[in-house]
Amino acid sequence: MIEIHDLHKYFGSLHVLKGIDLNVKKGEVLSVIGASGSGKSTLLYCINGLEPVQQGKVVVDGTDVHAKGTDINKLRQQLGMVFQQWNSFPHLTALENVALAPKIVKGKSKSEAREIAAQQLKHVGLGDKLDVYPSALSGGQQQRLAIARALAMEPEYMLFDEATSALDPELVGEVLETMRMLAEEGMTMICVTHEMGFARDVSDRVAFFHQGVMEEIGPPEQIFGNPQSEHTQKFLANVR
Amino acid sequence: MEPTISFFSGFAPKDLLFLGEAALRTMWISILSISIGTVLGVVFGWVLYEGKWAAALTVAPILDVFRSVPLIIQLVLFYNFAPIIGLNLDPFASGVVILTIYTASLVASVARGGIEAVDAPMRRAARSLGMSYWQDLRYVVLPIGGRAVFPAWVGVALGVMKDSALVSVLGYVELLKASQILITRTQEPFLILSIAGAFYFALSYPISRYAASLERKWAQ
């Protein structure tokens, strides 16, 4: 379970997150929507400790992410993350991209790591691209590679930071399909997304962020069908 | 009539051997300085990248001095003044010390550029997989940044190899000094400098060819 209590985040004097309270249970799929700059990506960065926080805390399976004694590198193995930019390691083949972290972080043997990698690449539909370098893959394939790379660490949670925003429109579908598959397999996911269709169809809950505040959270039927907050109504009217 | 004593004699085959040995010395002093200097330079480059203002006040100005003062002046100054602080180094050791520092000062900027070539999102992605700071440096920044600045590093290495000729002013008999000795004896500067030039070429050409083939391989 991911527990977020009264989380505040500042970039200098800019107050980006203004007291977020949020719990995400195992097996749940949460979509986070909202305008750019509303703090939704920053929330993900705070959850896996890529950004420090100024007040409040994030607790993942009982471990305080931002506490002094926390082994953040160990904790991050539980929190797979996929970014807007896929960030494939250009000097490694698809297989090596995925096998690297299991090998050096988890200390798996080379053959074991490669086996895991091959398995995860097949999982995301890249079984025929094992020995291909990222430069020969499309954006959608590279993003699926990034998903496989995160999955190879066998995380309990997956964080998606606008995973389809940088893709050409015709490549968005294959990545959403992969995310949908993970959701169906029961992966716990927090998806910051602009894909309203995905948020509506796949999520258990949808959270709407507005200027650093979580304005509204609820089942997709409520958020999309009967939004309570004025800001949510306005936002949804504009994206439709 | 008594035969006059000849101070001059023509170029003989054994002189080629003499030049060849000198070329090996050039190679040896270059390999030592470039490899130690590169390791130091990478460390300095990392300090420049991570150290921010602290590095800007300490390491950066020192490296600037070594980068900016002509090598020949550094060599003569160091060779003549090191004994004052109790360092009695022979020309070879003095040459290695100065060439190493000189290489390090050049490689430092190259290395910093290499680290900067790996953008923040890439490094965040590596860290998000659970890699430590050092694992990220070793497995992501080093190979990606290293490839980005490899051509610049090859330029530095070849430059230092040729600049090692300046160690001749300390009396170390490397390729250039050997050529001067032979020119004095044979009075055939054109021939001997051509041969010396050919040796320098033979030392650097394989390196640049090998570098080019590596770059081609990485570009795939």
pLDDT tens track for A211-230:
999 999 999 999 999 999 99
Residues of B whose CB is below 8 A from A73? 127, 130-132
HSE-CB for A153 with a 13 A CA cutoff: 30
The DSSP element (H or E) to which A22 belongs, if any, is strand A14-24
**Residue B78 forms part of a structural domain:** yes
Residues of B whose CB is below 8 A from A76? 127-130
What value does the mean pLDDT of chain A take?
94
**Residue B185 forms part of a structural domain:** yes
Dist CA B207 CA A74 (whole Å): 43
**Exposure string for A18-54, b = 16+ CB within 10 A, e = fewer:** bebebebeeebbbbbbbbeebbbbbbbbbbbbbbebe
Lookup: tokens for B200: 């320098």
Locate the chain B residue with the closest alpha carbon to A75. B130
Neighbouring C-beta atoms of residue A220, cutoff 10 Å: 17
**Residue B2 forms part of a structural domain:** no
Confidence class of residue B11 from pLDDT cuts 50, 70 and 90? confident
Dist CA B71 CA A98 (whole Å): 47
**Residue B11 forms part of a structural domain:** no
Neighbouring C-beta atoms of residue B187, cutoff 10 Å: 14
CA distance A81 to chain B (A): 6
Question: What integer pLDDT is reported at residue B37 of this predicted model?
Answer: 97
For residue B18, pLDDT beyond 70 = yes
Cα dist from B53 to A217, B47, B64, whole Å: 45, 10, 15
Which residue in the set B127, B132, B144 is minimally distant from A91, CB to CB?
Answer: B144
Q: Indicate the residue type of A118.
A: A
Which residue in the set A48, A106, A133 is minimally distant from B128, CB to CB?
Answer: A48
Sole residue written with tokens 């990248």:
B49
> How many domains does chain B fold into?
1
- Kindly state whether A48 is in contact with chain B, defined as any CB-CB distance less than 8 angstroms: yes
CA-wise closest residue to A24 among A158, A148, A151, A154: A158
CA distance B43 to chain A (A): 22
HSE-CB for A202 with a 13 A CA cutoff: 28
A89 phi-psi bin (left φ>0, alpha ψ -120 to 50, beta other) = beta
For residue A240, pLDDT beyond 90 = no
Q: Return the ∠ at Cα A63 (arms to A62 and A64), rounded to 5°.
A: 120
For residue A54, pLDDT beyond 80 = yes
Question: What integer pLDDT is reported at residue B3 of this predicted model?
Answer: 62
Give the contacts of B157 (CB within 8 A, at least 6 positions apart): B34, B38, B103, B207
A66 neighbors A53 (Cβ within 8 angstroms): yes
Locate the chain A residue with the closest alpha carbon to B218. A91
**Cβ <8 Å between B129 and A146:** no
- Cα B172 → chain centroid: 16
Dist CA B152 CA A90 (whole Å): 20
User: Does residue A94 sit in helix, strand or coil?
Assistant: helix
Question: What integer pLDDT is reported at residue B4 of this predicted model?
Answer: 66
Residues of A whose CB is below 8 A from B126? 89
Contact map slice: A 179-238 vs B, CB within 8 A = none
What's the residue count for chain B? 220
**Residue B7 forms part of a structural domain:** no
- Kindly state whether B215 is in contact with chain A, defined as any CB-CB distance less than 8 angstroms: no
For residue A3, pLDDT beyond 80 = yes
The backbone torsions φ and ψ at residue A106, rounded to the nearest 5 degrees and listed phi first, read: -95, -10
Confidence class of residue B51 from pLDDT cuts 50, 70 and 90? confident
Dist CA B32 CA B98 (whole Å): 11
| DSSP 8-state assignment for residue A167 | S
**Residue B190 forms part of a structural domain:** yes
User: Does residue A211 sit in helix, strand or coil?
Assistant: coil
**Residue B1 forms part of a structural domain:** no
User: Does residue B15 sit in helix, strand or coil?
Assistant: helix
**Exposure string for B4-42, b = 16+ CB within 10 A, e = fewer:** eeeeeeebeeebeeebeebbebbbebbebbbebbbebbb
CA distance B141 to chain A (A): 10
The backbone torsions φ and ψ at residue A167, rounded to the nearest 5 degrees and listed phi first, read: -90, 150
Locate the chain B residue with the closest alpha carbon to A83. B125
Dist CA B130 CA A10 (whole Å): 24
Across the range B43-68, mean pLDDT stands at: 89
B169 neighbors B72 (Cβ within 8 angstroms): yes
Dist CA B63 CA B52 (whole Å): 15
Question: What integer pLDDT is reported at residue B87 of this predicted model?
Answer: 86
Neighbouring C-beta atoms of residue B62, cutoff 10 Å: 13
**Residue B102 forms part of a structural domain:** yes
- Kindly state whether A150 is in contact with chain B, defined as any CB-CB distance less than 8 angstroms: yes
Q: Indicate the residue type of B156.
A: V
For residue B7, pLDDT beyond 80 = no
Dist CA B165 CA B177 (whole Å): 8
B-interface mutation test, from A71, A91, A131, A151, most B Cβ less than 10 A away: A91
For residue B187, what are the domain limits? 16-219
Q: What CATH number did the domain enclosing B63 receive?
A: 1.10.3720.10
Dist CA A136 CA A88 (whole Å): 11
**Cβ <8 Å between A104 and B218:** no
Q: Give the pTM.
A: 0.87
